[in-house]
Amino acid sequence: MEQILSMEGGSEEQSHANYSKIQVPPELIDKANPLLNKGRIFISKTSPPTVTDSYSTQFRKDFSLFLKLRSIELAPEGRMVLTLRGRRTADPTDESCVLWDYLGQAFQELVTELPNPRPESETRSMACSTNAFSLYLSSKSASDFNPNSSDLFLRVNKPAKVSLRGSSSGEFNPGRVALSRPSGLRGRICANATQVMDQSVGEKSSKVPTIVEVDLGTRSYPIYIGSGLLNQPELLQKHVHGKKVLVVTNTTIAPLYLDKVIDALTKGNPNVSVETVILPDGEKYKNMETLMKVFDKAIESRLDRKCTFVALGGGVIGDMCGFAAAAFLRGVNFIQIPTTVMAQVDSSVGGKTGINHPLGKNLIGAFYQPQCVLVDTDTLDTLPDRELASGLAEVIKYGLIRDAEFFEWQEKNMEKLMARDPDAFAYAIKRSCENKAEVVSLDEKESGLRATLNLGHTFGHAIETGFGYGEWLHGEAVAAGTVMAVDMSYRLGWIDSSIVKRVNDILVRAKLPTAPPEIMTVEMFKSVMAVDKKVADGLLRLILLKGPLGNCVFTGEYDRKALDDTLKAFCKS
C-alpha cells in the first residue's frame, strides 16, 4: 500500500526519506549561464556531457548524505528496504530514458526541481562504497521474476543489521520514499510501494557472503563465499529452476550436510521435490560406471529439462555431477556446493567437468558452467587435515603463476592456514576464486591463458595415473608436479634458484610432498604424459615459470633435454 509521503525528518515511530532531495545541479539554474543546457533542468539527447556530469556529481553528494543519515537513524537489528525507481541504463540519452525528455518539457514550467534517477549500477556502487552498508543478494521466486526490474539488498555494517532494497523500473515516479517502523516489529523498518516480505531465516542468515562474479556474458554466475551460507535458503533457491532437484553427493558428505542442503532447497518452497544419489567416495570412482548411477537416478525419477542438479562434495563429485548435468537431456542446470578446499578454490569454478579413463585423468568431459557456486566455509570444519593440505596446493599455484603478492601473503600466513584460521581461509578462498574467475572470463575453453592454471598438473596427472587413482590425493600429486615443473624451469634458465627454494619451503610448511612416489619411473611419466590433454600435434606443451615470481608460460618450445634431466633427477629409473 502506498505511504503518505512526507519531507520531514525522522521521529520515534516514523521516518521519512525524500529521494527527490537530490537537487538540480546549481549550475543548471544559474541565470548568468542560461546557455549551458538551453535553460533546461533535464537531460535530453542534445545536452552536452557536462550536464550529465553535473547530475552525477550532485547525485553522489546527496545520496551519500541520505545513506549516512539512514544508517545513523536505524535501530539495532532494524531493517530498511528502499525501493528505487529509475532508469536501468547508464546512458541518460538511451531510448528507455526518452520519457524523461518528454516529461521534462511538459513540466518545465510547473516545477523548479526535477529528480534525475541514476542507473542501478551507480546506486549499487555508491551504497557499497560507503562503510555503512554491505551488499546482500536476496532471493526471488520464479513467479516474482520481472526482467524489467532488479533488486539489491544492503545491510548496514554497524551499529545495526539492516537491508536496503533497490529496484528500477520504467515507471515515472518523483522518487519520494517513506520509511516507517510498524508497531510490533522489533526494530524493523520498511519502505514500500509494494509489500515487502521479511527475508530473515535465523541468526546465521545475517552473515553477508562475499561474492566473486565469473563474467561469461549471458552465462555469468556468482561465487558466494562465507560462513553459514547453507543456513540461507534464498542463496540456493534463487538459482533453482523448475520443481525437481537431484542432489549428487558421496558416502562421506551425505551424513554431514545432505539434510541441511535439502532443508535449504525446500524451506518455504513446498513445490520443490528433491531426489538424492549417494556415490562411493574417492578418485578411483570417478569413472563411467559410477556416472551411470547418476543417470539411472535421474531417469528413474523422471526428471525433465527444467530440473536442477546439485553437486554436494569435493572435486570428484563436482566434476561428475557437472558432466552428468551437461549430458542429461543434452543439458540441465546445476549448482556447485564444494566442501573441500580443493573444490572451493579450484575445481568448482570454471565449468570443467568430466571423468577419468584408465589411460589418463579427465580425458572424458565437457566445459559446462554452473548456475552458481556456494562456498560455505563451515564445511571445512569436518575436512581431514590431509584433504585440507591437498587443497592448499592449488592456492599456492595461483601465487606462482600470476599473483606474486598472494604468494608472499601465503608465506606469511601458512601457519594460520594450517591451523584453520577462519579469516585467513576466507581470504585465501576469495583471492583464489578471484584469480580463477578472471582467467576463466578471458579464456573459458582453455585455448591458451587458462591452460596456465595447470602448473604442476601434467606431472601430477601422470603421478595419479601411474601410481593409481586415489593412492595420492590430487593436491599431493600437483604439489610434487609443481616442484618438478619449477625444477625444469630452473634448468632452462628461466627462473633463479631463490624461487626454487621458496616453492620447496612453502610446500613443506603445507605438509605436501616435494617429490613423486618412488614407484614412478621415467618411462611411466613419458607414457602417461604422451596422452595428456595439452599434447598438440604430438608435442607436449607444459606450464613453466619464467621471469620474476608470478609469471609463467604455456609452451611446447623448450629444450627436451631439460625435461629428460628433470625426470631423471626425480626418478630412480
> Tens digit of pLDDT for each residue in 48-93?
777 777 777 777 777 777 776 766 666 655 556 655 555 555 565 5
Residue 253 reports pLDDT greater than 80: yes
Helix (H, G, I), strand (E, B) or coil at 556: coil
Residues 329-367, buried b or exposed e (16+ Cβ, 10 A)?
A: eeebbbbbbbbbbbbbbbbbbbbbbbbbeeebbbbebeb
Which of 356, 454, 534, 541 does the annotation list as catalytic? 454
450: annotated active-site residue: yes
Which of 446, 476, 533, 534 does the annotation list as catalytic? 446
Q: Read off the pLDDT band of 128 (50, 70, 90).
A: low
pLDDT of residue 39: 60
pLDDT of residue 54: 76
239: annotated active-site residue: no
Tell me which of 27-36, 212-221, 251-260, 294-303 is least confident: 27-36
pLDDT of residue 127: 54
Distance CA 226, CA 230 (A): 10
Tell me which of 8-22, 181-195, 273-287 is least confident: 181-195
The alpha carbon of 313 is separated from its chain's Cα centroid by a whole number of angstroms, namely 17
Give the residue among 545, 406, 404 at the shortest CA–CA distance from 487: 545
2: annotated active-site residue: no
pLDDT of residue 246: 98
Residue 182 reports pLDDT greater than 70: no
457: annotated active-site residue: yes
Q: Read off the pLDDT band of 25 (50, 70, 90).
A: confident
Helix (H) or strand (E) holding 179, with range, is strand 176-180
With left for phi above 0 and alpha for psi between -120 and 50, is residue 477 left, alpha or beta? Answer: alpha
Which of 16, 79, 436, 541 does the annotation list as catalytic? 436
Which is higher by pLDDT, 546 or 169?
A: 546
Distance CA 287, CA 209 (A): 34
16: annotated active-site residue: no
The DSSP output letter for 218 is: G
Which of 188, 457, 491, 533 does the annotation list as catalytic? 457
461: annotated active-site residue: yes
Tell me which of 121-130, 168-177, 247-256, 293-302 is least confident: 168-177
Average pLDDT of 132-152? Answer: 38
pLDDT of residue 326: 97
Please write the tens of the pLDDT for every residue from 386-424. 999 999 999 999 999 999 999 999 999 999 999 999 999
330: annotated active-site residue: yes
Average pLDDT taken over every residue of the chain: 78
Contact 360, 465 (CB under 8 A): yes
Distance CA 258, CA 538 (A): 45
Which is higher by pLDDT, 17 or 563?
A: 563
The DSSP output letter for 510 is: T
Average pLDDT of 524-530? Answer: 93
Q: State yes or no: cis peptide before 159, omega within 30 of 0.
A: yes
pLDDT of residue 208: 80
Q: Read off the pLDDT band of 548 (50, 70, 90).
A: very high
Which of 40, 352, 533, 534 does the annotation list as catalytic? 352
Residue 97 reports pLDDT greater than 90: no
Q: Where are the alpha helices (DSSP H) in 47-119?
A: 49-73, 98-107
Which of 450, 533, 534, 541 does the annotation list as catalytic? 450
454: annotated active-site residue: yes
Which of 16, 155, 188, 461 does the annotation list as catalytic? 461
pLDDT of residue 86: 54
Contact 157, 126 (CB under 8 A): no
Tell me which of 202-211, 359-368, 453-462, 533-542 is least confident: 202-211
Cα angle 268-274-278, degrees, rounded to a multiple of 5: 135
Distance CA 328, CA 402 (A): 36
241: annotated active-site residue: no
Which domains are present in the chain? Answer: 14-200 (no CATH), 210-383 (3.40.50.1970), 435-570 (1.20.1090.10)
pLDDT of residue 370: 96
Give the residue among 437, 463, 461 at the shortest CA–CA distance from 449: 437
Which of 330, 412, 560, 572 does the annotation list as catalytic? 330
* Identity of residue 444: E
* Dihedral sign (CA 22, 24, 27, 29): negative
Please write the tens of the pLDDT for every residue from 556-566. 999 999 999 99
pLDDT of residue 285: 95
Residues 181-198, buried b or exposed e (16+ Cβ, 10 A)?
A: beeeeeebbbbbbeeeee
Which residue is associated with the grid cell 520509511?
179
Q: Read off the pLDDT band of 191 (50, 70, 90).
A: very low
Q: Which three cell numbers stand for residue 232?
A: 540461507
The alpha carbons of the chain give a radius of gyration, in whole angstroms, of 28
Helix (H, G, I), strand (E, B) or coil at 177: strand
Please write the tens of the pLDDT for every residue from 104-127. 555 444 444 444 455 555 555 555
Which is higher by pLDDT, 438 or 39?
A: 438
Which is higher by pLDDT, 58 or 288?
A: 288
Residue 501 reports pLDDT greater than 70: yes
